[in-house]
Amino acid sequence: MIEFDHVSFSYGQNGVLKDLSFSIGFEERVAILGGSGEGKTTILKVILGLIRPDAGRVIIDGEDITDLNEDGLRQSRMNFSMVFQEGALFDSLTVKENVAFCLREYERLSEEEIDARVRHILRTVGVESAIDLMPEELSGGMHRRVALARSLAACDPEMFLYDEPTAGLDPINADNICRLIVSLSHEGTGFIVVTHKVIDALKLAKRFMFLKNGVLSFDGNREGLIASADPDIRHFISELQYGTDAKGAEIQS
């Protein structure tokens, strides 16, 4: 369980999160929506303890992590596997070594076991053929799949965190990544996806949170989001008029 208790955060004079209170179960599939600069990614950083709130408390799995040092945060972070917007692959390492990095860091495995594990994970996300390539040789869609593969190798997470996982991808690759995210969310392991793409959010999530001016102006299900009379939300979801309809957008898990 993730709990925000009256959390506020500012970048300088810019108040990004304002007195946020909510809870999210590790098993939930949640999309945090909002425009650029509204604080969506900031929420993920606060969850991971990468930044500390200016006010309020953050409780992860029953433990208050707000004032923990790096050593104290390490165990809390093991609850999560994070996929950053740009994939954040190590440019100097091959695909294999990128995925193997966390296996070498956190598990005692032989080289044969690491090779087998990496190949299995890459096969799961459909990019085993890229095992010896460098990140610069990957297409955008392949890059995201390798980033997902590395998140699978990181640990046995309670929840995945995705920061704009389909940003910059064409519709076909974006749809493929959405399907992959849903397929990786097995029973009991949920995710939080930060996105400004409504159609992708509808394919992925069951619960939707809308962030505007540092506050949550909506927290509910698909039907409530689509039916909302809030003018900011109505404007934000207007892309549905030009894309997949709300009912057709969901990917069944």
Per DSSP, helices labelled H in 49-170 are: 70-77, 95-106, 111-124, 140-154
For residue 154, name the pLDDT band (cuts at 50, 70, 90): low
**pLDDT at position 179:** 87
Report residue 12: phi and psi, to 5°.
Answer: 65, -125
For residue 87, name the pLDDT band (cuts at 50, 70, 90): low
Written as one letter, the residue type at 171 is: P
- pTM of the predicted structure, to 2 decimals: 0.84
Rounded to 5, what percent of the chain is helix, strand, coil?
A: 40, 25, 35
DSSP, collapsed to helix, strand or coil, labels residue 212 as strand
For residue 101, name the pLDDT band (cuts at 50, 70, 90): confident
Q: What secondary structure letter does DSSP report for 120?
A: H
DSSP, collapsed to helix, strand or coil, labels residue 208 as strand
Q: How many residues does the chain have?
A: 253
- Among 198, 185, 184, which residue's Cα sits nearest to residue 235? 198
**pLDDT at position 81:** 85
Instruction: Tell me what the mean pLDDT of segment 4-19 comes to.
Output: 93
Question: Does the pLDDT at position 48 exceed 90?
Answer: yes
Q: Return the percentage of the chain with pLDDT > 70, whole number.
A: 92
Question: Does the pLDDT at position 244 exceed 70?
Answer: no
**pLDDT at position 89:** 79
**pLDDT at position 110:** 87
For residue 192, name the pLDDT band (cuts at 50, 70, 90): very high
Q: Return the percentage of the chain with pLDDT > 90, whole number.
A: 48
Extents of the domains making up the chain: 91-156
- Among 228, 185, 211, 8, which residue's Cα sits nearest to residue 83? 185
229 by Cβ neighbours in 10 Å (0-12 / 13-18 / 19+) ranks as exposed
Instruction: Tell me what the mean pLDDT of segment 114-125 comes to.
Output: 88
Alpha-carbon gap, residue 17 to 1, rounded angstroms: 20
State the virtual CA torsion across 71, 73, 74, 80 in degrees, nearest 10: 180
**pLDDT at position 249:** 64
